[in-house]
Structure 1
Amino acid sequence: MTVVECDGVIAAVSDALGRTITLVRPLSGGQHAKTLVVADSTTEYVVRVFPPLDDAVGHEPQILDRVAALGDRVPRLVATGQFGDFPFIVTSLVVGGPPSPDLPLRRVAEQMAAVLAQIHQLDSVGLRTLSWETPRGDSTIEALGRRAWQQLDLADHVLTHYDFWCGNAMWEGETLTGVVDWSGARGAPRGLDVSWCRLDLVLLGSIDAADHFLAEYERESGHSLPDIHSWDLVAAARSASRVETWASNYLGVGYSDLTESTLRARMDDWTSRLCAS
């Protein structure tokens, strides 16, 4: 976002809130929306600016209403608006920041599993539903992902976050304080969120943490996932060809060691394990 665009967004947010807003800092770590922390005279807020024609402004408010049961661990809707062709959402600021790269990954797994089990208990009735496409491409993992997708039971829906990775979790020390970025949330099978978080933990460097996350999730939720291998295949098939592009996301939340080459090596090792299973 250019300086001129940023100034325009700040002015539009000020109009939406009916008071003067100033920029505190930009936030990095995602690719979908440009994110800013802003403030009035007393309070800080988060502004997320979406691409033109993005439907997040129409969709996310109902999601934030559904997840309000999680209290201060999720954002509260403050306002929506438009800057030119760019829709934006203003929410409360969830306390915390990305997990420290020094935080043990088993601890990350435990906290992520506990909050995901709570998310999946929330009402998904009436929400838009699963939109993942069948994995494409000619690689072994993509072919296996297509086969796995066709065999999955996609009927049992819960409220899924739809992008459940460490960059969308907020932390203070070793305690998870919140989950943000609900624009993609919808009704979908629980295996979607579980496999996506497992992939994140693998890319962070620990297959053991990914397995610990699964065990903790099943314990916390009371639901077993006998089809998790198929979900893991699908998650890997959907991302294997583009994993290098995630390096900037990880850098934005403090994982400077996750270079393109490191992500590629870890993805290749993971897909080899999945294909051999």
Structure 2
Amino acid sequence: MTNHDEASAVRPLTLAWASRHLEVGERIVRTDALHGGITAEMRRLTIGTRDGGTRALVLRTFVDPFHVERAEDSLNRETGALTQLAGTDVPAPGLVAVDPTAAHCEYPSLLMTHLAGRSVLNDEGLETRIHLLARQLVAIHALRPAKRPREYETLTTADTVVTPKGADAAAWAAAVDVIRKPAPPYEGRFLHRDFQPGNVLFDMPPPRPAGARITGVVDWAAASWGPADLDVAHCSTNLALLHGPAWGLRFSEAYEEAGGVLAAAASERLYWGVRDGLACSEEVQQVAQPWREAGRAELTTRVVEERLDAYVTALMDTLG
């Protein structure tokens, strides 16, 4: 077996565990680190098949102490989501094996099938991708699983919001006041809960961005039951930080154009939109780093903070 680099090496117990879940006559011939993950290490495992060919699997491993403590819940959620998604039209990975308590591996781990495609974070062809993202999210929200996932969680409170340096203080104070109120009533939907460009894979045939298509939706560790507005708000925030505030506002329009239904009242839409934007204020640095590693070097923490400020202010001006 060969490794692409030092970071791609799989720990011995985990390697043995993964090997036990291969088909007869198969073996792991190569491991490669996948970049972009925030909460877990991601690796692509190249499997040598009996007929001399290869196939690929993906290994997710939680190693950071903070996330290891929460890994059992995250992996059980993802296992449930992938099981529910099997056989649907949503292009999600197939579950191969899971060790949520590290009973067999050095750390909690999940093994799943590898999906073709790649995440696309640049500006070129964005208008086309916005519509594809919207249609895909509408399809996710249309699912009616036999067993509902647990209710959504929001951890950000008015006291944990981090107002960016130089931000519009009045707009942020008003936004914080919005989330002091109880959550609006909503009709529940199956949520991805981290639906954003980094978790969507595209086939991008050159040289025509207009020919793009979605090949996969990954990272279902936070799958939940809750308001469609919350998933839309999360994707909108990410688009605003990646491409500019106007694109965040554009996504909710595209979602409705694709047949999605959002809260009828502007005040309710504002609540969910602001809640997600303010939640991002607590982790701007963690969000920006994988984007830079993926080639968006201009997205420094300061640039992302400025875009977040502009986006929260735009939400307050548009819906407030």
TM-score by length of 1: 0.88
Q: Between Structure 1 and Structure 2, which shows a larger proportion of helix residues?
A: 1
Which of 266, 270, 279 is the equivalent residue of 1:238? Answer: 279
Instruction: State the SS of the aligned residue for 1:43.
Output: strand
**Greater Rg, structure 1 or structure 2?**
2
Q: Distance in 2 between matches of 1:35 and 1:4?
A: 9
Identity %: 23
Find out whether 1:165 has 2:190 as its counterpart: no
Unpaired runs of at least 5, structure 2:
49-53, 164-168, 205-211
Which of 126, 131, 135 is the equivalent residue of 1:105? Answer: 126
Give the aligned residue type for 2:201. M
The structure-2 alpha-carbon separation of the partners of 1:33 and 1:235, relative to structure 1 and needing over 3 Å to count, comes to same
Q: Distance in 2 between matches of 1:179 and 1:3?
A: 25
Offset at 1:223?
Answer: 1.2
Give the aligned residue type for 1:50. F
Q: Distance in 2 between matches of 1:11 and 1:25?
A: 17
Q: Distance in 2 between matches of 1:192 and 1:252?
A: 27
Q: Distance in 1 between matches of 2:45 and 2:90?
A: 19
The structure-2 alpha-carbon separation of the partners of 1:70 and 1:115, relative to structure 1 and needing over 3 Å to count, comes to farther
Partner of 1:213: 251
Partner of 1:251: 292
Matches within 5 A, 1:121-160: 121-124=142-145, 125-135=147-157, 136-137=159-160, 139=163, 141=172, 144-145=175-176, 147-148=178-179, 150-160=181-191
The structure-2 alpha-carbon separation of the partners of 1:250 and 1:197, relative to structure 1 and needing over 3 Å to count, comes to same
Instruction: State the SS of the aligned residue for 1:114.
Output: helix
Find out whether 1:10 has 2:15 as its counterpart: yes
Give the aligned residue type for 1:14. S
Which of 20, 23, 28 is the equivalent residue of 2:27? Answer: 20
Offset at 1:134?
Answer: 4.5
What is the CA RMSD across the aligned residues, in angstroms? 2.6
Find out whether 1:92 has 2:113 as its counterpart: yes
Offset at 1:183?
Answer: 1.0
Offset at 1:122?
Answer: 0.9
Cα deviation, 1:70-119, whole Å, max 9, x if unaligned, reads: 44721011112345451111111111001151433222211110000000
Give the aligned residue type for 1:74. A
Range with bigger deviation, 131-140 or 118-127: 131-140
Instruction: State the SS of the aligned residue for 1:30.
Output: coil
Range with bigger deviation, 189-198 or 129-138: 129-138
Partner of 1:194: 232
Instruction: State the SS of the aligned residue for 1:238.
Output: helix
Find out whether 1:73 has 2:91 as its counterpart: yes
Q: Distance in 1 between matches of 2:88 and 2:41?
A: 25
Instruction: State the SS of the aligned residue for 2:311.
Output: helix
Instruction: State the SS of the aligned residue for 2:239.
Output: helix
Q: Distance in 1 between matches of 2:8 and 2:230?
A: 39
The structure-2 alpha-carbon separation of the partners of 1:4 and 1:27, relative to structure 1 and needing over 3 Å to count, comes to closer
The structure-2 alpha-carbon separation of the partners of 1:4 and 1:48, relative to structure 1 and needing over 3 Å to count, comes to closer
Q: Distance in 2 between matches of 1:192 and 1:224?
A: 10
Range with bigger deviation, 67-76 or 95-104: 67-76
Range with bigger deviation, 26-35 or 121-130: 121-130
Range with bigger deviation, 56-65 or 166-175: 56-65
Offset at 1:146?
Answer: 5.3
Offset at 1:57?
Answer: 2.9
TM-score by length of 2: 0.77
Kept in 1: contact 2:41–2:62 (CA 8 A): yes
Offset at 1:239?
Answer: 1.4
Q: Distance in 2 between matches of 1:274 and 1:223?
A: 19
Instruction: State the SS of the aligned residue for 2:86.
Output: helix
Offset at 1:2?
Answer: 6.8
Kept in 2: contact 1:167–1:253 (CA 8 A): no
Offset at 1:149?
Answer: 5.7
Partner of 1:49: 61
Offset at 1:241?
Answer: 3.5
